[in-house]
Amino acid sequence: MIKNPVLTGFHPDPSMICVDGNFYVANSTFEYFPGVAISKSKDLANWESIKAPLDNINMLDMKGNPKSCGIWAPCLTYHDGLFYLVFTDVKCWTFSPFKDTPNYITTAPSINGPWSEPVFINSSGFDPSLFHDDDGKKYIVNMEWDYRKAGEMGRDKFTGILLTEIDPVSLRPISEPVNIFKGSERGKTEGPHFYKKDGFYYLITAEGGTEYSHAVTVARSKNITGPYELHPNTHLISSQGDFSAYLKKAGHGSLCKAPDGKWWIAFLCGRPLDESMRCPLGRETAIAEVIWKDRWPYLKEGGIVPAVEFEGYGEKIIKKVYDYKFNEGEFKHDFMSLRVPAKYDVLEDGRLRLYGKESLSSIHNQNMLIRRQSDFCFEAETCIDFPFEHFQRMAGLIYRYDEENQYYLRVAYNEEKGEKCLGILCFDKGNFSMPLGENEIPVGNGKIYLKLKVENRYGEFYYAKEDLVWNSVPYKIDVSILSDEYATPTGFTGAFIGMSCQDMRDSSAYADFYSFKYTVIN
């Protein structure tokens, strides 16, 4: 049996397909770069990250995007030898009545690219999806956002699912959009995906908002433009109201048919840390088997609350230590930057040279390389040498959710002490503090080792000199603030850990990182 979630840590809004015996899942990446995370598996149990498609600034430029904007709910499909990727680059979402949601489509002959220059489709709403009909026509569906509506929590602004025919070659719209589905009573209808089976068009949508009322809703029609009838249960998946459910927030799913004829659904879920109901791991990807009865999809195990385990095609191989080499593929696929490509070099001896850019509050040119927190209990360790001496230049180990909620164990020059010192920078709902105050720790010159140890709700930083005798930094970290639920307004990402460098003086500084290791504990 395979335990859910199969993709742990920040992996929301899964779009799953199966091509030539390989399963692929595309996930939202929001403000993290490169855009759209793609994972590959042959057995649904073991997944590897592969090359992200939106990996250069000509494909995706998110400079200036507010937090939790960027890539929302991509859709991955395959037809006639081509992979198609549809995505939104959200520029504005909760800070005004409007949502700026340009939608694009790109294609590639291989999942590893090269991907074509993105073609603009529309910006009427987010979560675009592509459907290849069996008569050769192609359609885009996306939710519609009406800024004029005024319902609670934006509920009434979700005004249904728009259908637009596109040209199969140019991929540009060739019809006026038609609103084909208003959704169920749960509301906030989004995340549409289309399927055709036994003469019916099946429309899978996400509803209820991507929190604890989330759901996968199913409707069908003989005609692509409707009218659509709702599933006998309305929802295929939801864990709303089931307080014992291990996989909470279950919703936003996509169907996939395997080579053996079985049907699967990939969907997002959340696992709260404790009674705070906060999820620092973000929204994760889980899978369930689907069966068909009376031409409707149902969960194989019955009901609508997804199971913790399912029987796939293999057995999970547990990996507990990720000892990254900076010039190898695993590092390049696991680590991300913020909004724009990271500026770094890998030196001949294997060091990573990370160049200093803007502050931790910038939404333009920060420079960091960070990976998802994928486990409730873990250690992250790095070794750094920072040659510059000025208080506006710093580097270290960053543990973040967004610009307003983060912890930073950093090395910087302290002119009062006349040497480099180790200190912690904290942001809690945007409130800045330096908890060590005047008691920052002198570290001198040369290499310094930095470590973060997290056990569920709390974490602690450590440091060591070249003798590798670890010393605790006297400050207790509350991990739960690095979560969607704690963010103001609510966010859509998850906690990240990694390497960071700033130079707010003249952008000439750099830091050399000798290693990075992520270890699962417990």
Report the distance separating Cα 72 and Cα 154, nearest Å: 17
Task: Specify whether 175 is located in the same domain as 57.
Answer: yes
Task: Specify whether 365 is located in the same domain as 498.
Answer: yes
Task: Specify whether 64 is located in the same domain as 89.
Answer: yes
Query: DSSP labels for 297-325?
Result: EEETTSSSSPPSEE--SS-PPP--EEEE-
Task: Specify whether 327 is located in the same domain as 305.
Answer: no
Task: Specify whether 306 is located in the same domain as 335.
Answer: no
Whether 437 and 426 have beta carbons less than 8 Å apart is answered as no
Task: Specify whether 303 is located in the same domain as 261.
Answer: yes
| Domain total of the chain | 2
pLDDT at 152 (0 to 100):
58
For 91-145, the pLDDT digits (tens) are 998 878 899 999 999 999 999 999 999 999 999 999 999 999 999 999 999 999 9
* 316 in a structural domain: no
* 315 in a structural domain: no
Task: Specify whether 216 is located in the same domain as 155.
Answer: yes
Of 250, 279, 310, the residue at which a domain comes to its end is: 310
φ/ψ of residue 155, rounded to 5 = -55, -45
Mean local confidence (pLDDT), 443-461: 96
Task: Specify whether 326 is located in the same domain as 278.
Answer: no
Report the distance separating Cα 321 and Cα 375, nearest Å: 12
pLDDT at 153 (0 to 100):
56
Task: Specify whether 298 is located in the same domain as 359.
Answer: no
CATH number for the domain harbouring residue 251: 2.115.10.20
For 271-301, the pLDDT digits (tens) are 999 999 999 999 999 999 999 999 999 999 9
For residue 172, the enclosing domain spans 2-310
pLDDT at 138 (0 to 100):
98
Of 277, 310, 343, the residue at which a domain comes to its end is: 310
- What residues are labeled active site? 13, 190
H or E element, residue 16: strand 15-19
- What is the percent of the chain where pLDDT is above 70? 99
Mean local confidence (pLDDT), 248-256: 98
Task: Specify whether 301 is located in the same domain as 355.
Answer: no
Of 310, 335, 355, the residue at which a domain comes to its end is: 310
Mean local confidence (pLDDT), 376-404: 96
Amino acid at 402: D
- What is the percent of the chain where pLDDT is above 90? 95
